[in-house]
A = this chain, B = another copy of it.
């Protein structure tokens, strides 16, 4: 069987399974999730042994240390997988929920029922633990899933998939509810993202090049997140200690995450008061600063920030700083150079805070809080399949609801249209 036929078969099977999982009741879905957690817990040795094969092969193939580190399935990650499955089981089931059931002048009663999307394709790179997170959310939201992991993690992914299958079986759900692509042929991804008859949405989890490729070629919706060029703007009415705490946290809490601040904007009337102290803290934490011309009048030792810096997601200990004359200039900079991900204002000014919330065109807009909070867990979604930088369908952290749609339900007593 060639790859095209193989993927079409997976797709057909997923489509059939999606009808069963769409009507599965909450208890059965939760039993499957808890049984998956148990299966992973009792398969630790097999998981580590399978992972060791991938690691050995990776070393042979010359993967660098960072990649090997990402590939390694540590006990703490196994713990996180188990904990994650139990958390998803504990989340409320969105499917079937009916809202806004209102009577209309004609006498019919109209509302909306939340329904699954159908079949979700998940494409991910090294980290095998990512699989479980995405697959469990898809299951809870009543969708069938096709998982396509990186070829370098094929043994680990197959071992994880067996635990998932065991969980489905224990709950009496069709095993095709979650399917793992068993071929490492790269063509499989191309097929998966161009079968709108079988796959309704694609979630790519991995580096920018994967996401760009998938977005460009997909024939179905992609829940994607590209850059995270996030800003903190310290306003003229900022509280100094809040400003410094948030600016330090947003940059240095973790460097490699999409919700880390990359550019700091400071009202020029507060720069003298705040910047030198803040710069000292950054430098003692090993953060390289780059500044606009005005910034460098106050911090002459730092490098110049160029146009390219405003557009760069450093994902590392580098920060660009720009002084602005007012909030409008800050908002203009954010909407122009940012990636519409997460931006925060530090201010005590009521009117400016309301305007910033309304006018900044980003998936998360904050007042007096660190950009690092932009996260499904922190937002109370329970978990996330990713953070969407799109406006269509899902925006910001995507939890269970982003994997669903709604249909109208209409109740009558023999009503006909006049």
Whether the Cβ atoms of A358 and B113 lie closer than 8 Å is: yes
| Chain A residues in the interface with B (C-beta under 8 A) | 19, 22-23, 96, 102, 104, 106, 108, 110, 113, 115, 117-118, 200-201, 221, 239, 241-242, 245-246, 248-250, 253, 335, 344, 346, 357-359, 361-370, 372-374, 378-380, 391-393, 395-397, 405-417
- Partner of A407 from the list B19, B117, B221, B365 (CB cut-off 8 Å) is B365
What number of copies of this chain does the assembly contain?
2
What chain B residues lie within 8 Å of A393 (beta carbons)? 392-393
What chain B residues lie within 8 Å of A416 (beta carbons)? 245-246, 248-250, 253, 369-370, 372
Identify the 5 closest CB pairs spanning chains A and B, nearest first.
Answer: A369-B412, A242-B414, A249-B416, A372-B417, A366-B410
Q: How far is the CB of A144 from chain B (nearest CB, A)?
A: 13
Whether the Cβ atoms of B392 and A408 lie closer than 8 Å is: no
Nearest-CB residue, chain B, relative to A241: B414
What chain B residues lie within 8 Å of A412 (beta carbons)? 366-370, 373
A395 to B335, CA, bound (A): 30
What chain B residues lie within 8 Å of A248 (beta carbons)? 416
Nearest-CB residue, chain B, relative to A397: B408
Whether the Cβ atoms of A242 and B413 lie closer than 8 Å is: yes
Q: How far is the CB of A411 from chain B (nearest CB, A)?
A: 5
A325 to B411, CA, bound (A): 24
Whether the Cβ atoms of B358 and A96 lie closer than 8 Å is: yes
Whether the Cβ atoms of A117 and B392 lie closer than 8 Å is: yes
Whether the Cβ atoms of A410 and B365 lie closer than 8 Å is: yes
Whether the Cβ atoms of A405 and B392 lie closer than 8 Å is: yes
- Partner of A335 from the list B19, B364, B408 (CB cut-off 8 Å) is B19
Nearest-CB residue, chain B, relative to A332: B19
What chain B residues lie within 8 Å of A115 (beta carbons)? 361, 391
What chain B residues lie within 8 Å of A392 (beta carbons)? 117, 200-201, 221, 392-393, 405
Whether the Cβ atoms of A200 and B391 lie closer than 8 Å is: yes
A19 to B332, CA, bound (A): 11
A-B contact pairs, 30 of them (CB 8 A): A19-B335, A19-B361, A102-B380, A104-B378, A104-B380, A108-B369, A113-B357, A241-B414, A245-B416, A248-B416, A249-B416, A249-B417, A253-B416, A344-B410, A357-B409, A363-B407, A363-B408, A364-B408, A365-B410, A366-B411, A367-B412, A368-B413, A368-B414, A368-B415, A372-B417, A374-B410, A392-B393, A393-B393, A396-B406, A396-B408
What chain B residues lie within 8 Å of A241 (beta carbons)? 414
Q: How far is the CB of A111 from chain B (nearest CB, A)?
A: 10
What chain B residues lie within 8 Å of A239 (beta carbons)? 414
Whether the Cβ atoms of A410 and B335 lie closer than 8 Å is: no
Q: How far is the CB of A58 from chain B (nearest CB, A)?
A: 32
Nearest-CB residue, chain B, relative to A370: B416
What chain B residues lie within 8 Å of A369 (beta carbons)? 108, 410-412, 414-416
A254 to B391, CA, bound (A): 36
A366 to B106, CA, bound (A): 14
- Partner of A410 from the list B200, B367, B410 (CB cut-off 8 Å) is B367
What chain B residues lie within 8 Å of A391 (beta carbons)? 115, 117-118, 200, 405
A117 to B96, CA, bound (A): 27
